[in-house]
Amino acid sequence: MRRLKIKEEKLKRNNRLTIMLNNREMRALNIYCQRYRVKNKSRFLRETVMSAIVQKFNDEMPSLWEVNEPDLFSPEVKTPDLKVRR
């Protein structure tokens, strides 16, 4: 029980973020929310922003097998045509 309470406090949102939208952006957001039945705009914006941030982190994270030059297994490498001369 105590452990659950500590976890809930760590996940509690205490920080406020305010954004400003122009009329066209606000209209586009409202149309999107109506069309796709978004009931909670705050949740929608939070999840959208955080998913973009996590995706960017994943894209920029170095890979263990990152290859800078083509190798035998990359599709960019073209093998030369080997023709048998007689």
Q: Which range of residues forms the domain containing residue 43?
A: 18-58
Tokens 């309470």 belong to residue: 5
Q: Decide if 71 contacts 65 (C-beta within 8 A).
A: no
- The pLDDT, as a whole number, for residue 41 is 96
Q: In this structure, is residue 79 part of a structural domain?
A: no
Q: Worst-scoring range by mean pLDDT, 17-21, 28-32, 69-73?
A: 69-73
pLDDT tens-digit series, residues 48-86:
999 999 999 888 887 776 666 666 666 665 555 666 666
* Banded model confidence at residue 32, pLDDT cuts 50, 70, 90: very high
Dist CA 30 CA 38 (whole Å): 9
Q: In this structure, is residue 4 part of a structural domain?
A: no
Domain count, the chain: 1
Q: What is the pTM of this model?
A: 0.63
